[in-house]
Structure 1
């Protein structure tokens, strides 16, 4: 597998002086969300999803019609540490507000090895990805993404090196893992070449406005949006030629409002909620923080589930509950069949808060771009 890094660009502490409000990474997310609202894609891929920040925002954003949201990253450790951000919350089961199904998947794999399961996807976002790629990997990237997968729209962002003169203490690149940083001209030459070769139109924009007197430098982050001129879908044989090169890391189906739920679906909806509730309560009571690969395995007795009125109203007996849940592939039982086995991450056991935990502790400033704490420019 090719080696590439897709961790979200975060500046080295000593290199930056400008702070934006909101931070530039949030501006990138907002730009993508706005584009998705306009384009209305049903299938979206975050290529180089890293800490799953964009995916977390897309799951919670209102007004989107995404049915399949997929993240891809090569770093399994980073994925393991951030899968909890993509799980449905207990409140999602208690009072679903989503009006359509949403399946969230997380894959481990390289951006140079296309996977057939992502063929003909509506939109691919690659935020702060390409600057982490070594030259041989970058050379293979367009063919894998534009040539093999044929997405309808690709949104790609990368640092604008023209802007770097506004960081007076910066030496080298903005991040230790960056292999390069392009000027606006270099970025546009590369994007124009990709668009011409793979039959796409491309538009340019950016986020992170410069101070008024430095407007000639462009935005802190430059963005290109590619739109395919070819509406023909790839043939199944073409998609299959890409093979299934990614490892499925996690998959979550988010609850949604449905006009008519079957009896089994109602039981599963309620059971999932109370299984999560009981598991977290048990971990909190026991004070057990021992984990395997960041996850704590918990055994939940079926008898405890039957103590909740919602469960008792749906299941006449413990055996009825057991037989119903055994039909669901997503429920795991112990050998006796009397306990449901589930796992929660250490992060989940500590907090149910799904909001961004990336924030600046220093004072925010408005659009006048005051110089402040060096760690907060992004």
Structure 2
């Protein structure tokens, strides 16, 4: 292709979505495919990728590392739990931690991760740091998967304003051959396989330049042995923790109890309301009133099909409505939260008014009348 054609491309090249979003989406897609529980982002900078990943349901531990503490501190608030997280705790646990330190140094807090991401990181490393980087990430951390992205220098002529490197802090930018040579040698030495891809497609007719961002996905060939993990246990901690957030979770019994109590009372109130409505329909008809037998038959249209035993029928006695715990436990959300009737009883004990035998929730009829 001649120079005039190349200059034409430099005027029109634009990525949609923006390139950084494509990189983040690539990582998110990888998370959705492999479902790692523990993910670390090296060179996390403004925490944008960590913020996106905190919504991935498989992840229970997120960690970020960056050499610039100020950038993390300015943005770490986006990783804090919101009021809604406390009102509606997730069923999974999630802990997010940010560390200040260099990827050239080993720290035991970075052990045990399933996925490590290094998005646009290595080109910022000095030569001495780059030499130590493989041993820290692949040798010491040894996660199941490592994702490394870096600029493809062959794409640079398509950017009109790029003279040498795309960013003033870049220490180098590799061609496809240079990156693949480094990646293959690293993978071979540390027993990983590696596949190459990228984001940011070149214009039609210039496919040879490759992706704007080149990506290597490294997968560990063999499980990490207990001996290798044991040998690193006494490594000295060198990172400084600058942020930690533990999200409310239903795995924490405190939050689980609150959720169960709320759901039990919500379910009981619905049953009570349906029962009292049925009772009022019979109130003006003496014949229907004498035959009124409040049972779960009243609710099949409202709640769908439920397998109901005789001892699961709610009933009215005096000014109280009694809703058996077995009935409440049969509702899907209560059942899912508790797992067993025994656990349901344990979680609501002393928190919800129960019958003398502890087998039914008691609700006062007068409260129903006051609400109406």
| Per-residue deviation, 1:16 | 8.8
SS at match of 1:155: strand
Aligned pair in 2 of structure 1 residues 20, 101: CA closer, same or farther (>3 Å)? same
| Per-residue deviation, 1:139 | 0.7
Aligned to 1:84: 77
Residue 230 in structure 1 maps to residue 222 in structure 2: yes
Tell me which of 63, 72, 80 is aligned to 2:65.
Answer: 72
Bigger CA drift: 232-241 or 187-196?
Answer: 232-241
Q: TM-score, structure 1 length as denominator?
A: 0.63
2-structure distance, mates of 1:119, 1:16: 46
Cα distance per residue 1:141-161 (max 9 Å; x no partner): 101111111111100000001
Aligned to 1:251: 244
Aligned pair in 2 of structure 1 residues 263, 89: CA closer, same or farther (>3 Å)? closer
Aligned to 1:345: none
Aligned pair in 2 of structure 1 residues 17, 245: CA closer, same or farther (>3 Å)? farther
Aligned pair in 2 of structure 1 residues 234, 46: CA closer, same or farther (>3 Å)? farther
Aligned to 2:22: 27
Tell me which of 253, 268, 271 is aligned to 1:261.
Answer: 253
Is the 1:45–1:71 contact (alpha carbons within 8 Å) kept by the matching residues of 2? Answer: yes
Q: Relative contact order (alpha carbons < 8 A, sep ≥ 6): 1 or 2 greater?
A: 1
1-structure distance, mates of 2:74, 2:161: 32
Aligned pair in 2 of structure 1 residues 211, 232: CA closer, same or farther (>3 Å)? same
Aligned to 2:115: 123
2-structure distance, mates of 1:16, 1:103: 45
Residue 60 in structure 1 maps to residue 64 in structure 2: no
| Per-residue deviation, 1:228 | 0.6
Is the 2:13–2:203 contact (alpha carbons within 8 Å) kept by the matching residues of 1? Answer: no
Aligned pair in 2 of structure 1 residues 123, 264: CA closer, same or farther (>3 Å)? closer
Structure whose alpha-carbon radius of gyration is higher: 2
Is the 1:43–1:69 contact (alpha carbons within 8 Å) kept by the matching residues of 2? Answer: yes
Is the 2:107–2:236 contact (alpha carbons within 8 Å) kept by the matching residues of 1? Answer: yes
SS at match of 2:205: helix
Is the 1:17–1:168 contact (alpha carbons within 8 Å) kept by the matching residues of 2? Answer: no
Cα distance per residue 1:233-258 (max 9 Å; x no partner): 35343222432121111111112345
Cα distance per residue 1:204-257 (max 9 Å; x no partner): 000011111111111110000101112133534322243212111111111234
* CA RMSD in angstroms, aligned pairs only: 2.3
2-structure distance, mates of 1:215, 1:263: 54
| Per-residue deviation, 1:203 | 0.4
Where do 5+ consecutive residues of structure 2 fail to align?
1-9, 263-349, 352-372
Aligned to 2:205: 213
Moved over 4 A (4+): 263-267
Cα distance per residue 1:50-72 (max 9 Å; x no partner): 110100000124xx311111001
SS at match of 1:65: coil
Cα distance per residue 1:157-188 (max 9 Å; x no partner): 00001111111232110001000000000000
Is the 1:134–1:179 contact (alpha carbons within 8 Å) kept by the matching residues of 2? Answer: yes
Q: Within 5 A, what are the aligned runs for 1:240-319?
A: 240-258=233-251, 261-262=253-254, 266=258
2-structure distance, mates of 1:234, 1:19: 48
Aligned to 1:134: 126
Is the 1:116–1:240 contact (alpha carbons within 8 Å) kept by the matching residues of 2? Answer: yes
Aligned to 1:196: 188
Where do 5+ consecutive residues of structure 1 fail to align?
1-14, 271-312, 315-378
Q: Within 5 A, what are the aligned runs for 1:312-351?
A: none
2-structure distance, mates of 1:213, 1:263: 58
SS at match of 1:240: coil
Aligned to 1:275: none
Is the 1:159–1:182 contact (alpha carbons within 8 Å) kept by the matching residues of 2? Answer: yes
Aligned pair in 2 of structure 1 residues 265, 141: CA closer, same or farther (>3 Å)? farther
| Per-residue deviation, 1:85 | 1.1
